[in-house]
């Protein structure tokens, strides 16, 4: 049997803030070209897990990692890691859309400008490519040089994803990317997530269990800082191994998202 390829893995990882453990004994993997949902109650450590995968907590005082966190087999907290390169390879999309006070065009190519300034002549094609990829091109092609803040929240979130895509990350981490959006924009982001897995590996933190069921291939259920269960998404919804998983996931068809 061929071994499933995990792009990223945590191996017996423990995360501390000021000496207090927030994640403990975490072993998990993220399969290539799959969407892995991370679910669990508020405070269970979902955001911390994502931020640990992209080393976004490096400057948070009192943050400490034990165990191993690997990207393509390489320990990312090892001495040789170029954190700037790591963040290019492991992109992050936040709950509230993050756009810079610049034009739509400049936001789209923001990462490229820093990564490959010599390619400036090719930026217009690159911007078009990523804006098409997030299904935003037709909506913005006539106002590329207008401020990004003039876009709706849903459009801003797609622009934030376009900016992440421009530097071609292997993994895209999304922390509740639709929770501040209206239903129509949420549907657009869900469709986008499904289309992105052709070329990327995605990790999606969501409180919205129906959303997890619609878009995720795999699921990771966190409970008070430990991985309670990990497996195929539908399998976990329909045939969970643990009582707590069942109790949490069984609310998927209740209207409001789980908290
Ligand atoms: N920067 C921080 N400093 C100290 N404690 C933190 C910090 N960020 C999160 N925590 C704590 O870590 C735990 C997990 O938080 P978080 O990862 O945000 O959970 P979730 O995203 O599942 O709601 C919580 O108890 C939270 O208070
Ligand atoms: Mg969170």
Q: Residue 251: pLDDT band by 50, 70, 90 thresholds? A: confident
Q: Does 1 reside within a domain?
A: no
Rounded-to-integer distance, Cα 6 and Cα 72, Å? 7
- Nearest atom of ligand 1 to the alpha carbon of 205: 21
Q: Per-residue pLDDT averaged across 234-245, rounded?
A: 96
- Taking 50 as the threshold, does the pLDDT of residue 1 lie above it? no
- Taking 90 as the threshold, does the pLDDT of residue 204 lie above it? yes
- Transcribe the chain into DSSP letters: -PPPPEEEEEEEEEEEETTEEEEEEEEEEEETT-EEEEE-STTSSHHHHHHHHTTTTTTSTTEEEEEEEEETTEETTSTT--HHHHHHHEEEE-SS----SSBHHHHHTHHHHHH-GGGGGGHHHHHHHHHHHTT-HHHHTT-TTSBGGGS-HHHHHHHHHHHHHTT--SEEEEESTTTTS-HHHHHHHHHHHHHHTTT-EEEEE-S-HHHHHHH-SEEEEEETTEEEEEEEHHHHHHS-SSHHHHHHHTTTTSSSPP-
Contact residues of ligand 1, CB 6 A cut-off: 17, 22, 40, 42-48, 60
Rounded-to-integer distance, Cα 74 and Cα 106, Å? 33
Q: Does 19 reside within a domain?
A: yes
Nearest to 34 by CA among 158, 160, 219: 219
- Does the pTM surpass 0.75? The reply is yes
Q: Does 239 reside within a domain?
A: yes
Q: Residue 258: pLDDT band by 50, 70, 90 thresholds? A: low
Number of domains, the chain: 1
Nearest CA to ligand 1 atom 16: 45
Give 110-132 pLDDT, tens digit per residue. Answer: 999 988 889 899 999 999 999 99
Q: Does 116 reside within a domain?
A: yes
Amino acid 115: pLDDT: 87
- Taking 60 as the threshold, does the pLDDT of residue 244 lie above it? yes
Q: Residue 161: pLDDT band by 50, 70, 90 thresholds? A: very high
Nearest CA to ligand 1 atom 4: 17
Identify which of 10, 13, 15, 17 to mutate to test ligand 1's pocket (most ligand atoms within 8 A of the CB). 17
- Taking 70 as the threshold, does the pLDDT of residue 255 lie above it? no
38 CA → ligand 2 middle, Å: 10
Give 7-59 pLDDT, tens digit per residue. Answer: 999 999 999 999 999 999 999 999 999 999 999 999 999 999 999 999 999 99
101 CA → ligand 2 middle, Å: 25
173 CA → ligand 2 middle, Å: 12
Residue 196 Cα distances to 1, 63, 109, angstroms: 27, 31, 18
- Nearest atom of ligand 1 to the alpha carbon of 175: 21
254 CA → ligand 2 middle, Å: 21
Q: Does 90 reside within a domain?
A: yes
Q: Does 178 reside within a domain?
A: yes
Identify which of 20, 39, 44, 47 to mutate to test ligand 1's pocket (most ligand atoms within 8 A of the CB). 47
Amino acid 220: pLDDT: 98
For the CA of 44, the nearest ligand: 1
For the CA of 24, the nearest ligand: 1
Q: Does 255 reside within a domain?
A: no
- Taking 60 as the threshold, does the pLDDT of residue 216 lie above it? yes
Nearest to 109 by CA among 159, 73, 59: 159
Q: Does 190 reside within a domain?
A: yes
Q: Which domain holds residue 120?
A: 6-249
- Taking 60 as the threshold, does the pLDDT of residue 2 lie above it? no
Amino acid 236: pLDDT: 97
- Which CATH number is 89's domain given? 3.40.50.300
């Amino acid at each position: 049997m061929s071994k499933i390829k995990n792009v990223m893995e945590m191996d017996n990882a423990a995360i501390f803030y000021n000496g207090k453990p927030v994640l403990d004994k975490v072993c998990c993997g993220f399969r290539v070209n799959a969407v892995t949902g991370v679910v669990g109650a508020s405070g269970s450590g979902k955001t911390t897990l994502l931020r640990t995968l992209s080393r976004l907590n490096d400057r948070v005082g009192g943050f400490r990692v034990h165990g191993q966190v690997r990207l393509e087999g390489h320990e990312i907290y090892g001495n040789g890691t170029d954190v700037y390169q790591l963040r290019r390879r492991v992109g992050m999309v936040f709950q509230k859309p993050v756009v810079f006070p610049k034009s739509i065009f400049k936001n789209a190519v923001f990462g490229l400008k820093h990564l490959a300034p010599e390619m400036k002549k090719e930026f217009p094609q690159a911007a078009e490519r990523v804006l098409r990829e997030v299904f935003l091109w037709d909506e913005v092609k006539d106002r590329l040089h207008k401020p990004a803040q003039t876009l709706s929240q849903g459009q801003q979130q797609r622009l934030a994803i376009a900016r992440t895509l421009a530097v071609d990350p292997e993994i895209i981490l999304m922390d509740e990317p639709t929770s501040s959006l209206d239903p129509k924009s949420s549907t657009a982001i869900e469709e986008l997530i499904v289309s992105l897995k052709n070329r990327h590996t995605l990790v999606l933190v969501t409180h919205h269990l129906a959303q997890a069921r619609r878009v995720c291939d795999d699921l990771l259920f966190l409970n008070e800082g430990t991985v309670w269960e990990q497996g195929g998404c539908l399998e976990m919804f329909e045939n969970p191994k643990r009582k707590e998983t069942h109790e949490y996931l069984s609310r998927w068809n209740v209207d409001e998202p789980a908290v």
